[in-house]
Amino acid sequence: QATVQELSNEIRRLKKERDAVILAHVYQRPEVQEVADFVGDSLGLSQQAAATDAKVIIFCGVHFMAESASILSPDKIVVLPEEHAGCPMADMVDAVQLERKKREMPGAVVVCYVNTSAEVKAESDIACTSANAVKVVASLPPDQPVLFVPDKNLGRFIASKTGREMTVWEGCCNVHDRLTVEDIQKAKAEHPQALALVHPECRPEVVALADKVASTTGMINFARENSAREFIVGTESGILHQLHKGSPDKKFYMASTKMVCPNMKKTTLESVHRALVTLQPRVSVPEDIREKAALCLERMLSVV
């Protein structure tokens, strides 16, 4: 059996041979992040997918991320190493349900979190990620009603930041939603000097206890730039790898050991290697849906 080092070297060699770029979300396993050309949050990854010259994109993340890459770069081969790496929150709204809701709200602007299927994006006016959600909603005409899908926690966070009334779907990320006020209070009691970094996918009462609410890249930048030496981490545990790399002399404590996304952990060095050898499984979107979904993503990218 190949060692991590051997497998990583072989992945780097194959990557050149295939003219492939490896994109990885910060929740991926550390060894997968280490072979990636770019590691980032959902926004950074979409920007990289839109900009790359490579022929092949190996997307180490979950399905909606690879799908977004394919929507933005339809001429590229997009490979998701683990076919069943999905996002349960993205499955909490489908196009039929969304169409029905839109009929109840004629004239509303539909804002979809990037954690949605291509079909839902095709039915939406503009996408957002956790990094640009407030900016995206603030850019909308002030008098138009807003429907936000599918994350109720992010939706409520945006509403509180923009002061805008929004109709918010009832979905959530069960990894972030399981973080409780008691978890944060306990971590703060154990580490009184630490600042709490919380993702806006967490419940409003948890967000209220945060010292900084941000996307994953926002948290990494904040920890690096802030003078504090210790931080409590209120997001998926894979982020620790980039937090330590960005701030090697600082301390990070998980707010809860429960914050592990099993879908993000499916991808291994073995599956990345297999993906480079076979260029399978591929992700693509039927052209009629892709065109509409691309408009929704491009509108987002033009706001940031």
If the CB atoms of residues 19 and 170 are measured against ligand SF4, the closer one turns out to be 170
d(CA 216, CA 222): 10
Residue 73 binds which one of ligand SF4, ligand 13P, none, with CB within 5 to 8 A depending on kind?
Answer: none
Candidate ranges 50-58, 125-133, 202-210, 269-277; the one touching ligand 13P (CB under 6 A): 125-133
Residue 42 binds which one of ligand SF4, ligand 13P, none, with CB within 5 to 8 A depending on kind?
Answer: ligand 13P
Q: Does 88 bind ligand SF4 (CB under 6 A)?
A: yes
DSSP state of 90: G
Q: What are the strands of the beta sheet with 38-40, ordered from one edge?
A: 38-40, 20-25, 56-60, 77-79
C-alpha to C-alpha distances, 170 to 64, 201, 213, 231, nearest whole angstrom:
19, 12, 21, 30
Q: How big is the site for ligand 13P, counted in residues (CB under 6 A)?
A: 12
d(CA 23, CA 200): 23
What is the number of other CB atoms lying within 10 angstroms of the CB of residue 128? Answer: 27
Instruction: In angstroms, give the least distance from the CB of 158 to ligand SF4.
Output: 16
Q: Look at the block and give the residue holding tokens 């059996």.
A: 1
Q: Does 82 bind ligand 13P (CB under 6 A)?
A: no
Residue 195 binds which one of ligand 13P, ligand SF4, none, with CB within 5 to 8 A depending on kind?
Answer: none
What is the number of other CB atoms lying within 10 angstroms of the CB of residue 192? Answer: 7
Q: Does 206 bind ligand SF4 (CB under 6 A)?
A: no
Q: Is 113 annotated as a binding residue?
A: yes
Site string for ligand SF4, 119-158 (x = CB under 6 A): ----------------------------------------
Q: Does 67 bind ligand 13P (CB under 6 A)?
A: no
Instruction: In angstroms, give the least distance from the CB of 264 to ligand 13P.
Output: 7
Q: Does 261 bind ligand SF4 (CB under 6 A)?
A: yes
Q: Does 115 bind ligand SF4 (CB under 6 A)?
A: yes
Residues 252/244, Cβ–Cβ less than 8 Å: yes
Candidate ranges 37-45, 138-146, 223-231, 288-296; the one touching ligand 13P (CB under 6 A): 37-45
CA-nearest of 280, 299, 302, 293 to 123 is: 293
For ligand 13P, the binding residue among 46, 70, 215, 247 (CB under 6 A) is: 215
Q: Does 175 bind ligand SF4 (CB under 6 A)?
A: yes
If the CB atoms of residues 77 and 261 are measured against ligand SF4, the closer one turns out to be 261
Q: Is 201 annotated as a binding residue?
A: yes
The angle subtended at Cα 53 by Cα 32 and Cα 50, nearest 5°, is: 75
Helix residue ranges per DSSP H, the chain: 4-17, 30-35, 42-51, 63-72, 95-104, 118-122, 133-138, 152-162, 174-177, 181-190, 204-207, 216-225, 240-246, 269-278, 287-303
d(CA 148, CA 126): 10
Q: Does 32 bind ligand SF4 (CB under 6 A)?
A: no
Applying CB under 6 A, which residues contact ligand 13P? 41-43, 87, 115, 129-131, 173, 201, 215-216
Residues in contact with ligand SF4 by the rule CB under 6 A = 62, 87-89, 115, 173, 175-176, 236, 261, 263-264
Residue ranges of the annotated binding site for [4Fe-4S] cluster are: 87, 173, 261
